[in-house]
Amino acid sequence: MVSTHPAEVQNFGSKYLPQIKNNIEISPNQELLPLTAKINNQDYLEIGGCDVQNLVEQFGSPLYILDETTLRAACRQYRDSFKRYYQGKSQVLYASKAWSCLAVCAIAHQEGLGIDVVSGGELHTALTAGVSPTKIYFHGNNKSREELNLAIEAHATIVVDNWHELKTLVEMGSPTQPIRIMLRLTPGIECHTHEYIRTGHLDSKFGFDPNQLDEVFAFVSQQDCLNCIGVHAHIGSQIFERQPHRDLASVMVQWLTQATSHGLNITELNVGGGLGVKYIESDDPPSIEEWVKPICEVIQNACAELNLPLPKLLSEPGRSLVATSCITAYTVGSSKEIPGIRNYIAVDGGMSDNPRPITYQSVYRAVIANKMSAPCTETVTVAGKHCESGDIVIKNAQLPKTESGDILVVMATGAYNCSMASNYNRLPRPAAVLVADGEANVILRRETYQDLLRQDCLPERLKNS
């Protein structure tokens, strides 16, 4: 089904470019494209001073293109906003589950951030990237003994999620070298986000039940092998509302007094993350500064009212740091027209490099990188190449006339795309490049067919049969 959109004929691609308004610093989570995005004199999209079509010619597609400037800007805005609005100490942690790789962890570390990890693999990645163990916090609702031991040996902080883990750590610990822990508590705060990414409501697999707090605090206070330095909570992801985070900050200060009554010296509060990002034009998330400021104010006011010293304040953004720092470039292949129903164009990737549309019904926007000013004349559905009818990247995308060989760019793909990528249908996972100042460096090599077989084992009796 082909349609024309006259209002979008002029400067189709440029409407997505970041715009500085009233000299106010751009918050990356409020933009669809990375901060360095521009259209060059060939009418091609550039990111980080690199022509996207040239990048695809050099590195192949699908291709994750990560803009270093945008990622660093987001890190600095979080770091500096907490320093500006919080009178005590603060520490921003990058929630690396959004995209855990050496380069991203190293950039976050260079900008003064710590790293939040949720597995032994993420912990190993952060350590290898050079992150200090004192700035690594290990989450998860079912950590294995091997993972716990790795964290203990590295001297990372373990965020304890449940009774099983707490008692396991007591068995593993020693009074001569207490294990540094925080307690994850469920605040019982609902917010409007996808069912699968709400983690603060009572019916959640994460955290101790709030009705058990006195029992948990009393137990921990009696364990010489544990050094409980803080409490943690997280209410979900892709959140635009501000009030739930204010409510969370207030509840957590109340937990401080509760812990103190049991003799625990709680010095750190981790308010989690969850700030949303712009995936489509109608999305209107708060800026990073607008998210940080009220949290700091609520905690400071509550502590003053209760005559409590200010705790060290931690937060753990992930998506809002890296999502809009990255785009994914695909090459357009086949097309199919179903008269009166739908037009399809197919790209050389799909659900194996971006499982969010099929998993969360997530919606994205796209441009044609080699036709940035072409008029938008078609409504098409962008299909992936997998043998799966649900492998749809974008439904009803409004694009210029698109042909085989064009470079289609999907915006805001830095969070939970590469990190959730798979080898479905035995597709090798894409490469990723880091771009800055006109230079592109590979940070993830493209997998090969041989990589797909690396872990396969063929018993002797099946050979040459």
Catalytic residues: 387
CB atoms near residue 395 (< 10 Å): 15
Specify whether the CB–CB gap between 49 and 82 falls below 8 A: no
Nearest alpha carbon to residue 204 among 196, 212, 215? 196
Listing DSSP states for 90-127 in one string gives EEEEEEGGGS--HHHHHHHHHTT-EEEE-SHHHHHHHH
Task: Give the C-alpha separation, 129 to 106, whole Å.
Answer: 5
Residue 128, exposed/middle/buried by CB under 10 A (0-12, 13-18, 19+)? Answer: exposed
d(CA 44, CA 51): 7
Helix (H) or strand (E) holding 320: helix 319-322
Work out the angle between the directed axes of helices 120-128 and 102-110 (0-180°, nearest 10).
60
> Can you tell me which residue has the tokens 């550039």?
46
344: tokens are 């399809």
CB 143 within 8 A of CB 184: no
Distance CA 185, CA 191 (A): 16
